[in-house]
């Protein structure tokens, strides 16, 4: 996506991540556009199956010939190209371990990190730490990162596979903007994902439509926290700065980067809010509020942005504040943006949190009731193959917990429960995950809106082992205001 005008003195830009050391002064038209071609974002193209994280139609192999048919670490067999980005190439891969465990969905997305990044002296350390941060972001509006590893010189990350389309393509397919209802749903999803990340002291730093995915069910997920950087004032990660400067690996997309990012200032959650505001405006109108000019140029040639018609006053107020070019005039973080955009009184959210806190105190043991009689069929009486599948699912669930992958843990424990209803170990695993979810909501009330809480409860109710749970149903009723 690019803005290409004749007789325009500004440099031609596209929505591609630019490695920061390449940028001298984005406000000077003498910059060669070729500098912007070296790193590409996940630009969606054609994909007949519509199953991907991002689509692209031109297969590209790295220097070490990783491509379709390759097997990595004797575990992941690549079978389809999904897309490419500034950090590497994304494929669909068969996870042989999942296949052996008879997993119903044995495929993962695997990102092969590019050779250019490998030249950085502290590359592996930096990316390992960024992947570790990504693994802590277990949220329905953030893509799940499973693992980070290497096979000889091949460095890769594995993630969940999504079905849908990139937000970039979604906007292209709606040049005049989408309905307010559809746009608000996507905006809220993005903001909730960012809010969770900000609460965990993680900033995306390269938010743009190409790094957001709209699933077939209409929900949105934020992708590619690979260059995200933790706030530097945290004592528990202070040692990171002694080994590498994360900013050396950082990148930015000129169309969506804030003025402070161009100036090389420390990353701040409000930088993500600026990008969110621009994206929100594009969703609603089909147009970038500053005609796709970088913030460093827009602040010089600033014109008043036209208000979006049809929005409620508090919704427009949130977007107008988000696209402020000066950092001090913007919402400080995604939680503030959400509160303003939703117009939800904090007292209402606090009432819901009191309810959740009360239920948490009662204990998650009530959430998955353990009948006194236990499973109707003893484990030893199950067919040998079913026993093996149950044991493998329980093992995978516990492994997922080690990486704080609660979505994965729910999947595996629920599968074990389906194979062997009322299985004691699966019930204990499900209880543990549910307890974690409720405790997280209780301990971080400032980061959770009513809608965010409802989405998490609905996610839990979506699992067959929890679908009839009366306690969760009661919470849902309260959140829906019934």
Q: Among residues 235, 170, 245, 242, which one has the least CA distance to residue 201?
A: 235
The last residue of one of the domains, among 342, 362, 386, is: 342
**pLDDT (mean) for 332-338:** 90
Please give the pLDDT value at position 458. 83
Rounded CA gap, 213 and 145, in Å?
15
Structure tokens, 189: 């999803």
Rounded CA gap, 26 and 9, in Å?
12
Query: Does residue 196 sit in the same domain as residue 310?
Result: yes
The total domain count for the chain is 2
Q: Among residues 481, 409, 411, 472, which one has the least CA distance to residue 451?
A: 481
Structure tokens, 266: 């420390």
Give the percent of the chain with pLDDT over 70. Answer: 68
The last residue of one of the domains, among 283, 308, 342, is: 342
Rounded CA gap, 180 and 212, in Å?
18
CATH code, domain with 206: 1.10.510.10
Does 169 have pLDDT greater than 70? yes
Query: Does residue 216 sit in the same domain as residue 295?
Result: yes
Query: Does residue 376 sit in the same domain as residue 333?
Result: no
Q: Among residues 400, 404, 399, which one has the least CA distance to residue 135?
A: 404
Please give the pLDDT value at position 52. 34
pTM exceeding the 0.75 threshold for the entire prediction: no
**pLDDT (mean) for 91-103:** 93
Query: Does residue 281 sit in the same domain as residue 221?
Result: yes
Please give the pLDDT value at position 447. 57
Please give the pLDDT value at position 218. 87
147 pLDDT band, cuts 50/70/90, is confident
CB-based burial of residue 300 (10 Å sphere; 0-12 exposed, 13-18 middle, 19+ buried)? exposed
Does 285 have pLDDT greater than 50? yes
- 130 located within any domain: no
**pLDDT (mean) for 125-134:** 68
- 64 located within any domain: no
Residues 6+ apart with CB under 8 A from 235: none
Continuous H helices in 202-244: 240-243
Give the least confident one: 21-30, 180-189, 254-263, 358-367: 21-30
312 pLDDT band, cuts 50/70/90, is very high
Average pLDDT over all residues of the chain: 75
Give the least confident one: 19-23, 64-68, 343-347: 19-23
Query: Does residue 404 sit in the same domain as residue 256?
Result: no
Query: Does residue 312 sit in the same domain as residue 380?
Result: no
Digit-coded pLDDT (tens) for 368-392: 444 445 688 888 888 888 888 898 8
Q: Which residue has the tokens 């910059």?
A: 31
- 391 located within any domain: yes
Rounded CA gap, 55 and 466, in Å?
34
Query: Does residue 308 sit in the same domain as residue 363?
Result: no
Digit-coded pLDDT (tens) for 249-261: 456 789 999 999 8
- 114 located within any domain: no
Asked whether 420 and 426 are in contact (CB, 8 A), the reply is yes
207 pLDDT band, cuts 50/70/90, is very high
| φ and ψ at residue 108, rounded to 5 degrees | -135, 165
Range of the domain at 262: 164-342
Query: Does residue 293 sit in the same domain as residue 274?
Result: yes
Q: Among residues 139, 189, 134, 141, which one has the least CA distance to residue 159?
A: 134
């Amino acid at each position: 996506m690019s803005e290409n005008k004749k007789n325009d003195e500004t440099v031609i830009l596209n929505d591609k991540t630019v490695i920061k050391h390449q940028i001298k002064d984005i406000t000077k038209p003498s910059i060669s556009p070729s500098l912007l071609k070296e790193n590409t974002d996940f630009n969606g193209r054609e994909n007949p199956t519509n199953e991907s994280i991002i689509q692209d139609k031109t297969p590209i192999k790295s220097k070490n010939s990783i491509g379709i048919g390759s097997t990595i670490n004797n575990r992941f067999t690549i079978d389809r190209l999904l897309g490419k980005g500034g950090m590497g190439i994304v494929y669909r891969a068969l996870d042989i371990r999942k296949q052996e465990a008879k997993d119903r969905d044995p495929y993962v997305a695997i990102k092969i990190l590019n050779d250019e990044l490998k030249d950085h002296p502290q590359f592996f350390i930096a990316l390992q730490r960024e992947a570790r941060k990504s693994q802590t972001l277990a949220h329905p509006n953030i893509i799940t990162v499973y693992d980070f590893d290497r096979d000889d010189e091949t460095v890769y990350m594995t993630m969940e596979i999504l079905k849908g389309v990139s937000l970039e393509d979604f906007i292209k397919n709606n040049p005049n903007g989408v309905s307010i209802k559809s746009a608000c749903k996507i905006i809220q999803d993005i903001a909730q994902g960012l809010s969770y990340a900000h609460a965990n002291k993680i900033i995306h730093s390269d938010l743009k439509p190409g790094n957001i995915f709209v699933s077939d069910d209409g929900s949105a997920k934020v992708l590619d926290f690979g260059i995200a950087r933790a706030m530097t004032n945290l004592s528990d990660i202070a040692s990171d700065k002694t080994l590498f400067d994360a900013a050396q690996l950082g990148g930015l997309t000129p169309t969506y980067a804030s003025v402070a990012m161009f100036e090389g200032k420390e990353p701040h959650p409000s930088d993500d809010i600026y990008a969110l505001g621009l994206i929100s405006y594009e969703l609603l109108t089909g147009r970038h509020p500053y005609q796709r000019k970088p913030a460093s140029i827009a602040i010089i040639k600033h014109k008043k942005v036209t208000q979006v018609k049809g929005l409620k006053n508090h919704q427009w107020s949130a977007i107008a504040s988000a696209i402020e070019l000066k950092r001090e005039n913007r919402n400080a973080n995604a939680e503030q943006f959400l509160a303003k955009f939703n117009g939800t009184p904090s007292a209402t959210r606090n009432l819901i949190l009191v309810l959740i806190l009360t239920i948490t105190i009662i204990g998650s043991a009530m959430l998955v009731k353990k009948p006194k009689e236990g499973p109707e069929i003893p484990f030893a009486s199950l067919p040998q193959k079913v026993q093996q599948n149950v044991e493998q699912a329980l093992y995978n669930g516990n492994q997922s917990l080690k990486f704080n992958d609660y979505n994965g843990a729910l999947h595996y424990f629920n599968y074990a429960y389906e194979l062997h209803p009322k299985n004691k170990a699966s019930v204990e695993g499900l209880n543990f995950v549910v307890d974690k979810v409720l405790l997280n909501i209780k301990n971080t009330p400032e980061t959770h809106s009513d809608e965010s809480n409802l989405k998490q409860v609905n996610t839990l109710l979506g699992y067959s082992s929890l679908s009839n749970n009366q306690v969760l149903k009661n919470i849902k009723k309260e959140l829906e205001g019934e």
